[in-house]
C-alpha cells in the first residue's frame, strides 16, 4: 500500500539545501526547490551556474557535501529499478559505441530488467527506426541526442532530466525536442530541463528555476516572471481620467506616439484594478519586458565570465 507521503511525493523531485564543493569552489550553494509533475520546469542559469552538478547529484552521480535530493520520496541510489523511475539525458554526445543503436538500447534494457519490445517502441518514439541497425558511434549530433532520449524513455519513467537537450541541434531537431517535452509533460510526467538560454526556455517551460553561482535566484511560473517588475503598454478609452490615478498609485508614465502609453512601477493586475475603480475601459494591457531581458537582469551579477567594457 502506498502511504500518504509516498503518494504526495509521486513524480516530485525535492532538492533541499543542496551544497557541492569542488576544492575551494562552491558549485552548488544551499539550493532548495521542488520540481512538480505535469509541467516542464526550465532549469536556467549562466554557464558554470551549477546546473549540471545539481542534475548529477539528483542522479546520485555526484555526492553532495550537504543537503539532500529525493525523487518520488526516495533517494536515487536506494531505488531498485531506477530506469523505471527516472530517465536522464546528460552529456548526450558521449556515445562512442561500436554497437548498433538497437543493440545499445537492448543492452540497457536487459541490464535493467526492461522487456526487449520496449526498445522498438522507443526507437519509433524518437524517429530512429530507419537507422536502428547503424552503429551508434557514427551518429550525428541530432541522432545521438535522439538516441540519448530513447535511452531515457526506455523504462517509461515518470521523472525525466534533460541537460541542455537542444545544444547544437538544427531547427528541426529543436522543434522536435520541444514538442516531445510538451507531450511528456502533458502525460503528467515531471521534466527538469536545463538551459543557459532564456529564449529557449520561453518556448517550452511552464515554470522556471533560475540559479546563479550555485544559488537560487528565482523559482517562478513563466507568467508571473513576465509580470514581475515589467513595463506595461496600456491603451484606454479615457486616458485623462486614468493616468492621474496611475501616477497616484506609484506608476510613472511614458506617453507613446500612437495613443498608447507605457506604465512603469505597476503590474498589469494593479493597472487593471485602477482602471476598474475609475470606470475606464482598457483596450490593451501588455507587459513589455521580454523574458530574455528579465533573465539577463536577474543573472547579471552571477555570470562567471563577463566581457569587459570596451
Ligand X SMILES: Nc1ncnc2c1ncn2[C@@H]1O[C@H](COP(=O)(O)OP(=O)(O)OP(=O)(O)O)[C@@H](O)[C@H]1O
Quote the strand ranges of the chain, DSSP E. Answer: 13-22, 25-35, 39-44, 66-71, 86-89, 159-163, 190-195, 207-212, 215-221, 231-236, 252-255, 261-264, 282-287
Q: Which of 22, 107, 127, 297 is close enough to bind ligand X by CB under 6 A?
A: 22
Task: Give the whole-angstrom CA distance, residue 9 versus residue 139.
Answer: 38
Euclidean distance between the first and the last CA atom of the chain, given in angstroms as a whole number = 65
Contact region for ligand X (CB under 6 A) — 20-28, 76-84, 104-112, 119-127?
Answer: 20-28
Are the C-beta atoms of residues 13 and 86 closer than 8 Å to each other? Answer: no
Task: Give the whole-angstrom CA distance, residue 192 versus residue 207.
Answer: 10
Cell numbers placing 196: 543557459
- Nearest CB to ligand X, comparing residues 109 and 205: 205
Q: Is 158 in the site for ligand X (CB under 6 A)?
A: no
Place of cell 496600456: 234
Count of residues in contact with ligand X, rule CB under 6 A:
12
- Nearest CB to ligand X, comparing residues 49 and 180: 49
Query: In the bound complex, what is the minimum distance in angstroms from residue 45's beta carbon to ligand X?
Result: 5
- Nearest CB to ligand X, comparing residues 25 and 63: 25
Query: In the bound complex, what is the minimum distance in angstroms from residue 217's beta carbon to ligand X?
Result: 12
- Rounded CA Rg of the chain: 23
Task: Give the whole-angstrom CA distance, residue 105 versus residue 261.
Answer: 58
Query: In the bound complex, what is the minimum distance in angstroms from residue 214's beta carbon to ligand X?
Result: 7
Query: In the bound complex, what is the minimum distance in angstroms from residue 151's beta carbon to ligand X?
Result: 20
- Nearest CB to ligand X, comparing residues 88 and 246: 88
Q: Is 299 in the site for ligand X (CB under 6 A)?
A: no
Q: Which of residues 34-93 bind ligand X (CB under 6 A)?
A: 45, 47-53
Query: In the bound complex, what is the minimum distance in angstroms from residue 35's beta carbon to ligand X?
Result: 16
Q: Is 196 in the site for ligand X (CB under 6 A)?
A: yes
- Nearest CB to ligand X, comparing residues 22 and 254: 22
Task: Give the whole-angstrom CA distance, residue 104 versus residue 99.
Answer: 6
Q: Which of 164, 219, 202, 192 is nearest to 41 (CA)?
A: 192
**Mode of pairing for the β-strands spanning 39-44 and 86-89:** unpaired
Residue 231, SS3 per DSSP:
strand
- Nearest CB to ligand X, comparing residues 119 and 217: 217
Query: In the bound complex, what is the minimum distance in angstroms from residue 28's beta carbon to ligand X?
Result: 7
- Nearest CB to ligand X, comparing residues 16 and 62: 62
Query: In the bound complex, what is the minimum distance in angstroms from residue 27's beta carbon to ligand X?
Result: 3
Task: Give the whole-angstrom CA distance, residue 79 versus residue 244.
Answer: 62
Place of cell 550553494: 29
Q: Is 165 in the site for ligand X (CB under 6 A)?
A: no
- Nearest CB to ligand X, comparing residues 22 and 281: 22
Query: In the bound complex, what is the minimum distance in angstroms from residue 202's beta carbon to ligand X?
Result: 17
Q: Is 27 in the site for ligand X (CB under 6 A)?
A: yes
Cell numbers placing 73: 520520496
- Residues near ligand X (CB under 6 A): 22, 25, 27, 45, 47-53, 196
Amino acid at each position: 500500500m502506498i502511504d500518504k507521503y509516498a503518494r504526495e511525493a509521486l513524480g516530485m523531485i525535492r532538492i533541499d539545501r543542496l551544497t557541492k564543493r569542488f576544492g575551494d569552489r562552491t558549485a552548488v550553494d544551499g539550493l532548495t526547490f521542488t520540481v512538480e509533475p505535469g509541467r516542464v520546469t526550465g532549469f536556467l542559469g549562466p554557464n558554470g551556474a551549477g546546473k549540471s552538478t545539481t542534475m548529477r547529484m539528483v542522479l546520485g552521480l555526484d555526492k553532495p557535501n550537504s543537503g539532500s535530493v529525493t525523487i518520488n520520496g526516495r533517494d536515487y541510489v536506494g531505488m531498485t529499478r531506477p530506469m523505471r523511475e527516472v530517465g536522464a539525458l546528460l552529456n548526450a554526445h558521449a556515445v562512442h559505441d561500436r554497437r548498433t543503436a538497437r543493440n545499445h538500447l537492448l543492452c540497457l534494457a536487459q541490464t535493467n530488467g526492461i522487456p526487449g519490445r520496449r526498445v522498438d517502441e522507443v526507437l519509433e518514439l524518437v524517429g530512429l527506426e530507419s537507422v536502428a541497425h547503424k552503429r551508434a558511434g557514427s551518429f550525428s549530433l541530432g541522432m545521438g541526442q535522439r538516441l540519448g532520449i530513447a535511452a531515457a524513455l526506455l523504462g517509461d519513467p515518470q521523472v525525466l532530466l534533460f541537460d541542455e537537450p537542444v545544444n547544437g541541434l538544427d531547427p528541426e531537431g529543436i522543434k522536435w525536442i520541444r514538442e516531445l517535452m510538451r507531450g511528456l509533460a502533458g502525460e503528467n510526467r515531471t521534466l527538469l530541463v536545463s538551459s543557459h538560454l532564456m529564449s529557449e526556455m520561453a518556448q517550452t517551460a511552464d515554470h522556471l528555476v533560475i540559479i546563479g553561482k550555485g544559488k537560487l535566484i528565482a523559482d517562478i511560473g513563466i507568467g508571473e516572471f513576465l509580470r514581475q517588475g515589467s513595463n506595461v503598454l496600456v491603451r484606454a478609452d479615457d486616458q485623462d481620467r486614468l493616468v492621474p490615478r496611475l501616477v497616484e498609485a506609484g506608476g510613472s508614465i511614458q506617453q507613446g506616439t500612437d495613443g498608447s502609453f507605457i506604465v512603469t512601477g505597476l503590474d498589469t493586475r494593479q493597472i487593471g484594478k485602477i482602471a476598474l475603480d475609475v470606470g475606464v475601459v482598457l483596450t490593451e494591457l501588455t507587459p513589455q519586458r521580454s523574458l530574455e531581458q528579465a533573465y539577463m537582469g536577474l543573472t547579471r551579477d552571477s555570470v562567471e565570465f563577463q566581457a569587459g567594457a570596451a
